[in-house]
Amino acid sequence: MMLTFNTEDKEKELTELRKKQEDIGVTTESLSRLPVFEPTLKPQFKERVFENAYGRIFVRGRLGQSHKNVLETILYKRKAYKSYKDEEGNRHIEVIYSEYEVKKYLSKGTTYNKEGYQSLIEDLKLAYVEIETKELTVNGKLVEEKTLSTKYSKRTKSNLPSLKGEKIPYAILKLGNVINLLISEELKFTYDPRAIINLASGVSQAIVRYLKTQKRHPRTGYHLKELIQSLEENIEGQKWYNIKTHLKKDTDKLKNLGIVIDFKKDRLFVMQCYANGKVENLF
């Protein structure tokens, strides 16, 4: 389905169009099974090479769970998107969304930092990523650019005379070739990211995202250290202690997601229900 940004403010039209479009999800297998986004909320700019059972990545840039929160929220709250192919047959996706709605969604009940949001978008634009799995190899950008639509906008409902009825243009996020290919070729996942965003630590967020890509979970639980080693290297000593401290702070919120950690045995369990001979995950 092609989206033409052709007239003025058409909120209802965009809503109807989204219903007709293919779901592009909020993430894909590789974006959650591989630590393209570090399991931290405060990443530093660096070059990273990492390999686990699902594949290998090289990342140059500053990418953490805070960046994943923004990207997933934009895809989840999108109004619609434009999809087209270039002369070489490569797919391009441009997502149209309300920056106000995205920042409000990320705010956790407080005023969201505008400068922080812009900085995260810039990091997404600047990052270079290489991904190698058994099924595909891709390298390049996650995000090409963010612009403001000259065609679509939303009128404000402010009670202030100076703002009432003001047109606020929607943003357009042009995805890079890495995400474009992953959306086209990989299994996609759609969920409301709010519960993950509300977790206090990046390692908790990364674990939940990783687990959401698994169809089945061992009834005897995951070995906690082995699970985290699928997302991060060198977790011995003080770092391992710090990781468990962060996870303990999220204990109640993780339980609400159906994830229980036995810290004495260092095992993690995903609660499951069994109905009609089928296993259903609770999160």
Band of pLDDT at residue 158, cut at 50, 70 and 90: low
| pLDDT of res. 5 | 44
Q: Would you tell me how many other CB atoms lie within 10 Å of the CB of residue 120?
A: 21
Q: Which two tokens stand for residue 180?
A: 């474009």
- The pLDDT of 157-175, averaged and rounded, is 75
Q: Which of 25, 10, 183, 17 is nearest to 90 (CA)?
A: 183
What is the structure's pLDDT at 277? 53
Q: Which is more confident, 88 or 54?
A: 54
Mean pLDDT computed over 127-154: 94
With 70 as the cut, is the pLDDT of residue 275 above it? no
The string of pLDDT tens digits covering residues 231-265 is: 999 999 999 999 999 999 999 999 999 999 999 99
Residue 183 has pLDDT above 70, yes or no: yes
Q: What was the pLDDT predicted at 276?
A: 55
Query: Where along the chain do its domains lie?
Result: 11-195, 217-281
Measure the CA–CA gap between 114 and 9, rounded to whole angstroms: 24
Q: How many CB atoms lie within 10 A of CB 151?
A: 15
Which are the contacts of 179, defined by CB distance < 8 A and separation ≥ 6?
28, 31, 93, 142, 143
Most confident of 60-64, 99-103, 158-162: 60-64
State the chain's maximal CA–CA distance in angstroms.
61
Which 3 state secondary structure label does DSSP give 229?
Answer: helix
Q: Which among 253, 204, 250, 257 is positioned nearest to 231, based on CA atoms?
A: 204
Q: Residue 99, Cα to own-chain centre: how many angstroms?
A: 16
Least confident of 85-89, 109-113, 152-156: 109-113
Nearest to 83 by CA among 180, 186, 212, 151: 180
| Chain segment 52-61, per-residue pLDDT in tens | 999 999 999 9
DSSP string, 51-92: EETTEEEEEEE--BHHHHHHHHHHHHS--EEEEEE-TT--EE
Contacts of 198 (CB under 8 A, 6+ apart): 108, 253
pLDDT tens readout for residues 184-211 = 999 999 999 999 999 999 999 999 999 9
Determine the pLDDT at residue 18: 81
Report the range of poorest mean pLDDT among 6-10, 91-95, 161-165, 235-239: 6-10
- In which band, very low, low, confident or very high, does the pLDDT at 165 lie, cut at 50, 70 and 90? low
Q: Is 6 exposed, middle or buried (0-12, 13-18, 19+ CB in 10 A)?
A: exposed
pLDDT given at position 260: 97
